[in-house]
Amino acid sequence: MEKINAAITGVGGYVPEYIMDNEELSKLSDTNDEWITTRIGVKTRHVLKGEEQGTSVMAIKAVEELLFKTNTRPEEVDLLICATVTPDMIFPATANIVSHATGLVNAFSFDLMGACSGFLFALQTGATYIETGKCKKVIIVGADKMTSLLDYDDRTTSPIFGDGAGAVMLEPCSKEYGVQDSILRTSGAGEQYLNIKSSGSRCPVTKETIDKKWNRIYQDGQVVYKAAVSNMTSTTREIMERNNIEVGDLKYLIPHQANKRIIDAVASRLNIPEVKCMVNVTKYGNTTAGTLPLCLWDYEQKLRAGDKVIFTTFGGGFTWGSLYLIWAYNGREMKKRD
Ligand code: UT7
């Protein structure tokens, strides 16, 4: 029996209308445009404003665009996985809310928490449902409202993050296209360096934990920076070696968008030129599970059937990995939404 592969057959995305530039951020945090630009490479980030506007608002818009672009009737979808660390609520899953709002009446759905690696873990999980023949149409959405977790008094984290969502459709294809290989890793030893201490059952939110700001992101930036560069480099190198991919064969490296310096350091260690790296951290900041699909959303027009791409990511957990995929369609021919 011929092996079934899982191809990405369309991309949708959404970023909120409100754009906060470094000048505005500098009024909320003790920072400045020059520091943020040189140390992180972010100029603007999108912020979801308004009462009771959760991550699902953005994920729904990304999925609606995806259904439109891929000419998919909602009832055809078998599974939706939502990668997020900022669900609307602990339960029900944001995936359930998104599926209901977009009319996916025949799909089961669940959230997957892998922090900045959430989209990649969800992509491999969804691909496996396709490869086994269990599902024919799977939507993977990566979405986060990171500004809901920020403490603007903490200048070491406030300039980094933004809000956004991206979604892809996975469908069966022949072995020339789709997901070819992945190396996915976790280490809970990273817990102490990147966490939100009061956000779950161990230390429930109380007035005291709020006063201590334990319900906001904590990060030891330098430890995370070094671990991100070394681990994204090593899994990408390994996946290139075991699939016989030379730099010249690669169309794009699609790195997690946490810091332009991290992207540059990984690319330089792998001798991958800048022009082969997808970069949009400058305008969106780090949208956590949203970064990788938002890269595809921005670069879709440049992608052609047969292009070899490698995703790589690193985030809280620690979680990290690389995934090798052969692109399955000509982006320019994809239907556009007005
Ligand atoms: O997506 C999840 C994974 N997260 C990441 O991959 C993030 C990894 N870490 C990083 O990207 C970087 O470590 C940061 C962007 C968080 C920080 O950059 P850095 O170059 O490591 O800065 P640093 O922490 O070494 O701080 C250097 C200086 C310090 O001042 P002194 O001690 O040298 O006087 C900081 O107090 O910069 C100061 N500083 C700032 N100054 C202006 C720190 N944050 C700011 C700021 N504005 N926002």
- Kindly report, residue by residue over 286-321, the tens digit of the pLDDT: 999 999 999 999 999 999 999 999 999 999 999 999
Nearest CA to ligand 1 atom 35: 156
What average pLDDT does the chain have?
A: 97
Work out whether the CA dihedral 180, 185, 117, 113 comes out positive or negative. positive
- Chain centre to alpha carbon of residue 199: 21
Flag whether 232 is in a domain.
yes
- Kindly report, residue by residue over 73-127, the tens digit of the pLDDT: 999 999 999 999 999 999 999 999 999 999 999 999 999 999 999 999 999 999 9
Flag whether 338 is in a domain.
no
Cβ-contact 231, 318 below 8 angstroms: yes
Question: Cα(295)–Cα(87) distance, rounded to whole angstroms?
Answer: 21
Give the pLDDT of residue 337. 73
Q: What is the extent of the structural domain holding 84? A: 5-177
Q: Which of 35, 38, 156, 257 to mutate to test the pocket of ligand 1 (most atoms within 8 A of CB)?
A: 156
Question: Cα(57)–Cα(305) distance, rounded to whole angstroms?
Answer: 31
Termini Cα distance of the chain: 42
- Ligand 1 centroid–CA 37 distance in Å is 12
Whether 269 and 284 share a structural domain? yes
Whether 139 and 185 share a structural domain? no
Nearest CA to ligand 1 atom 14: 221
Per the annotation, the verdict on 116 as an active-site residue is: yes
CA 213 to each of CA 87, 149, 197, 198: distance values in angstroms, whole numbers, following the listed order: 19, 10, 9, 8
Shortest-distance atom of ligand 1 to CA 225? 8
> Which of 177, 202, 230 is the endpoint of a domain?
177
Give the pLDDT of residue 78. 98
Whether 265 and 311 share a structural domain? yes
* Residues within 6 Å of ligand 1 by CB: 31, 35, 39-40, 116, 155-156, 159, 221-222, 224-225, 228, 258-259, 262, 286, 315
Beta partners for residue 167, in sequence order: 12, 141
